[in-house]
Amino acid sequence: MNESSGPLAGVNVLDLTRILAGPSCTQLLGDLGASILKIENPATKGDDTRTWGPPFVQSTDDRATDISSYFAAANRNKRSVAVDFTTRSGQETIRRLARQADILVENYRPGGLIKYGLNYDSLAIEFPHLIYCSISGFGQTGPNCGKPGYDLLAQGFGGIMSLTGEPDGPPMKVGVGIADVMCGMYACVGILAALRHREQTGEGQMIDLALVDTQVAWLVNEGVNYLTSRKVPKRLGNAHPNITPYEIFETCDGHVIVAVGNDNQFRRFCNAIECPELADEPRYATNPNRLANRDTLIPIIQSVLKTKTKGAVITILEAADISVGPVLPLDEVFASSQVEERKMKIEMTSKDADIHLIGNPLKFSKTPITYRFPPPRFGADTDRILGSDQPFSEDSSKGGVKHNM
């Protein structure tokens, strides 16, 4: 399947991003049907993450490609065009492509594209229809706007690391680049809103998005807990700051997650583990009281669950309609029937490589997600794209690419 039938079919995106925040945004737009041209620098042989391995995707003759798994994770449904926009001819190429683009996404430091005439103010004069999304570490304004920004720095500066980890341990980052990914999702939402505005007015606009801003935005309840109480939250490990019991418990043969969301659920939970007296105990009868007496309640629950098997705990709590589940390693995640049924594991095949990827979670009843192009080799589409008077058209790339789900 090469031709887009998604909700963004016909939308053209000029992608000047690399690493993760920008590429995850443009991949999502591509999954939704937009045509994405990924501009890559010949001097660096493309996106930095092409070399962020191992592991690397292997070709069918068992040679390593220039596609790391990291790169593959955020760059399907794109075509790679090698352009050096530090040169006058490269700048003219970008402007020619921008003439037919609806959206331009870049993630250079604020002011970094001015000298090439590729900043928003320069391009908006010639292309007032253009939606220009700029992603940076700290945004276009503020005392830190000129500083570089990576996911780890954003997690630290934006507070999530101070909330993550065991109470007596060091601050801890999330296991994946979640600040980058969330920034990419905010960018996609902003772009879709800007498209709606342009439909109504014909006007393009600039979207200024910062990794740190988006990280602060998704502090959600813990951020507002602080703003309400002015008490700095402490790390709770796997416990929840506002409800309990809601954490991981050890059984005699593994761990389970137990999530009790209200007082009625707590009573059912206590009955299920054969401790009904806990629900009648005033110290534990209501969620505020359970939070205040967490230090005595949790050890009681731990002592009970540690005598049972993981399977037994899951069985009795599911029968009581309590949220419970295992902690799965990735091999079990991707082997699960749930992931299989929901098509969250896909395979895309190009001329010389089979690439295993994570599927898109959006399920549309009318305009389904399409997987049209596997993560591209560096510059693979340069000649075809730049030699066409319709560079965003996907028709010219039909054939040679298929996907299996």
| Residues paired with residue 207 on neighbouring β-strands, in sequence order | 133
Q: How many other CB atoms sit within 10 Å of the CB of residue 97?
A: 20
CA distance 399 to 75: 19
CA distance 140 to 145: 6
356 and 306 Cβ atoms separated by less than 8 Å: no
Catalytic residue set: 180
Apex 74 CA angle, 6 and 350, nearest 5: 75
CA distance 9 to 3: 9
| Residues paired with residue 16 on neighbouring β-strands, in sequence order | 106
> Tokens 């794109």 sit at which residue?
78
In the Cβ-directed half-sphere of 303, how many Cα atoms lie within 13 Å? Answer: 6
